[in-house]
Structure 1
Amino acid sequence: MKASVKWLGNAAFEAETGSGHTLVMDGPADAGGENRGPRPMEMLLLGTAGCSAFDVVHILQRGRHPVADCQVRVEAERAEQPPKVFTRIHLHFQVAGEGLSEKAVARAVQLSAEKYCSASIMLSKAAKVTHSHELV
């Protein structure tokens, strides 16, 4: 896996993934940013939520469970002093599907958290990562 990041000036950077996708990351105004894109630490949270959501949907689909929607809300806390690492991350899954069972959703979230989600498992080495879910 490869990626590159190029400085655009002030606190903005253009990121390009190995698969050819680009996006702009930017810092807050008090750091010279212009709010042109997400902060790099926000990208870590987005990547973690996306990785885990992918797992949950994939696990449910492979089990032939009728998943129709999956949303993940992430909340995190950071240390007050540099380096301001994440100290706590919580992922809350809202999963929907006609006839979908709570047991299947719970199992999919657990498998993602404990076995499949590389991002959340990696971050759990530095922060307390927790998961919850609801069937909607």
Structure 2
Amino acid sequence: MQVRVKWLEQVAFVGETGSGHAIVMDGPPDTGGRNLGARPMEMLLLGLGGCTSFDVVAMLKKGRQEVLDCEVTVDGTRAETVPKVFTDIHVHFRVYGHGLSEKQVGRAVELSAEKYCSASLMLGAAARVTHDFEIIEGPAPR
């Protein structure tokens, strides 16, 4: 797996993935940016959210659960001083569906966190990563 990051201007960069996708990263105005894109550290949290969501939805579908939607909120707390690494990360799942089993959702979240999600395991080596979930009957609001 390989990505490429190219400097655009000031503190803005474009990241290009090996799979052919691009995303702009930029900083806030107080660091010389124009707020044109996500912050690189936000990208780490997005990657974690995407990785673990992929696992949980796949496991629930395999378990014949009627999943209609899955939304994950990832909150990261960073150190006060440089390097401002994440010290604590909390992942909260909202799983929408019909007749979802609390046991199966909990097990899917646990397996993702402890065995399958590479991003969660990697970030967990440097920060305290916690997970929880809620089940919501019916479709997600749009």
Question: Could you say which TM-score interval applies, normalised by the shorter chain?
Answer: over 0.9
Deviations 1:65-89 (A, max 9, x none): 1111100011110001110000000
1:106 — aligned with what?
106
Q: C-alpha separation between the residues in 1 aligned to 2:33 and 2:50?
A: 25
Say yes or no: does 1:39 pair with 2:39.
yes
Instruction: Give the alignment of 1:1-136 within 5 angstroms.
Output: 1-136=1-136
Q: C-alpha separation between the residues in 2 aligned to 1:23 and 1:56?
A: 25
Q: C-alpha separation between the residues in 1 aligned to 2:6 and 2:67?
A: 39
1:63 Cα shift?
1.2
Q: C-alpha separation between the residues in 1 aligned to 2:110 and 2:55?
A: 10
Secondary structure class of the residue paired with 1:97: strand
Aligned length: 136
1:99 Cα shift?
1.2
Which runs of no fewer than 5 residues in structure 1 stay unpaired?
none
Q: C-alpha separation between the residues in 1 aligned to 2:69 and 2:104?
A: 14
1:96 Cα shift?
1.2
Secondary structure class of the residue paired with 1:120: helix
1:54 Cα shift?
0.6
- Amino acid of the structure 1 residue aligned with 2:115: K
- Amino acid of the structure 2 residue aligned with 1:39: R
Which runs of no fewer than 5 residues in structure 2 stay unpaired?
137-142
- Amino acid of the structure 1 residue aligned with 2:26: D
- Amino acid of the structure 1 residue aligned with 2:35: N
- Amino acid of the structure 2 residue aligned with 1:128: R
Q: C-alpha separation between the residues in 2 aligned to 1:125 and 1:107?
A: 21
Runs of 4+ more than 2 Å apart = none
1:29 Cα shift?
0.7
1:101 Cα shift?
1.0
- Amino acid of the structure 1 residue aligned with 2:43: M
